[in-house]
Amino acid sequence: MPTTATYPRSMPVLHQTYADAVGDLSVPWQADGAPRAELTWLNEDLALELGYDPEWLRTPAGLALLTGQLDAEGRPLAADDPAPATPFTTAQVYAGHQFGQPNPQLGDGRAVLLGDLIDTRGHRRDLHLKGAGRTPFARAGDGKAPLGPMLREAVIGESLHALGIPTTRGLAVVSTGELVRPRRGVTPEPGAMLTRVAASHLRVGTFEYAAWHLGPEVLRALADHAVDRHHPGARDAESPYLELLRRASQAQAQLVAQWMLVGFVHGVMNTDNMTISGQGIDYGPCAFLDDHRSRAVFSSIDHQGRYAYGNQPGIALWNLSRFAETLLPLISPEHPEAGIEAATEVLQGYEPAYLEAWTRGMAAKLGIPLEPDADAARLTAVRTLGEDLLVLLEAQRIDHTRFFRALTGGTAGALFTDPAAYESWHRRREELRGSGPAADEAADAMARTNPVHIPRNIHLENALRSAHLGDLSEVETILEAVTHPYEARPELEHLEGPGEGGDSFLTYCGT
């Protein structure tokens, strides 16, 4: 059967825009495929948003797409078609600072970029396949991925998306029918592939690789591509590359503020895990807070607590500083000192942008009306109230998510073993809230701001263990809860709390 017959004309057309623009930063590479591919989970809403018919994705041609079996034009291969001599799909190279130390070459060690497409809303988006087999950047890995981490990334992405936080998302998880090397222990795990959707996969580490290895011409092409794809308004600025830095910094300030407000801990904020678009990416050893703890670390490899919950805003600025260093040859090539001064000024804008985003988000969580033109004194009062609250939550070991939802319902005081400190804080909140229509509207909005459901760590871990054994029902139940995060439903009440064992919960690299 000819390949074209398996790909309806109505389906999106895949391109390799990134490879066409900056050919030095990726190589053509064919995914290994899956011996016994079986669709484990499909994000039907996202499929429709991209322009794919969910039922078509369940066909052999759809599975060929979701396992990276594409011809030279980016269309699914039929079962008896040979792989193209020059693959359509690509593996990307990048570098990065990992736990603060530079690594000159990283990259898609077990992933390929299927391509990019224009979705039904007119946005260009990447389709990226993880667990696709070894690539030239695989180092010592086997290129395979276990089922559990692929489902974890899908659940975390859908939760963050439902909370309104910019994020990559999973389109599908396909079981490969293989047993792969375990992340820990000796028992092999079922293999899987995750098809991930992103605005792009341009990272700070991508710019580091170009700056460290390829010189100003490639660096300029990369920066131009990033401007055109993510921050086109920067093109009209007096210094487009300085404006690229400014806009990327503002996007990261907004992103990390939202992480902090919902109690999300990324876990490994290396520069190769920070996008230029402002989306969260690479959800490996990540978790949500149960008890509020500024020093909370859930990654088994973060022994020093570099990426602890409370460190995330500062780490984002550190990463952005590395990004700025790569752009200096473009910002002011003939006057390096002037470039450093200009970039430093831009980076100094990160903290105010973060604090304003966090303060406005905290006001919404507390039900305090805050006008767009609120003066500095009111912003400072709200920020101080929020910061004092977090100290109080930590001192009395109060669950982060449960507190804000209880505050929404007027029952937060019952959570405190020593209510006097809370009552004093609450009086200050009431003074700032005031009364009248604006206060009433802000109070009503709390129910659409403070979630009932997040992916609770122990519940998700137990669900992934069941999925390992072939039972996906618990994962599906958690997905139902976290994709409707503000709805309290009796049948999902067991997922509202942290469960047993959260104090010692750890996650392991594997995505």
Is 388 known to be catalytic? no
How far lies 60's CA from each of 65, 80, 83, in Å? 9, 12, 16
Burial class (CB in 10 A: 0-12, 13-18, 19+), 134: middle
Which residues touch 345 (CB under 8 Å, ≥6 apart)? none
Which residues touch 245 (CB under 8 Å, ≥6 apart)? 320, 323, 324, 327, 331, 343, 346, 347
The one catalytic residue among 126, 272, 291, 399: 272
Helix (H) or strand (E) holding 460: helix 457-468
Q: Nearest Cα to 463, choosing from 226, 138, 147, 204? A: 147
Identity of the amino acid at 385: L
CA-to-CA distance for 382 and 363, rounded, in angstroms?
A: 7
Q: Enter the DSSP assignment of 309.
A: G
Read out DSSP for 133-196? ---TT-TT--S--BHHHHHHHHHHHHHHHHTT--B-EEEEEEEEEEEE--SSSSS-EEEEEEEE
The token pair that represents 83 in the structure block: 């792989």
- Find tokens 């008896």 and name the residue: 80
Q: Nearest Cα to 422, choosing from 443, 392, 449, 447? A: 392
Which residues touch 410 (CB under 8 Å, ≥6 apart)? none
- Find tokens 């039922």 and name the residue: 55
CA-to-CA distance for 128 and 58, rounded, in angstroms?
A: 18
* Number of separate helices (H) and strands (E) present in the chain: 17, 11
CA-to-CA distance for 496 and 481, rounded, in angstroms?
A: 9
Helix (H) or strand (E) holding 42: strand 38-42
Q: Nearest Cα to 255, choosing from 322, 350, 170, 342? A: 350
The token pair that represents 295 in the structure block: 């020093």
Active site residues: 272
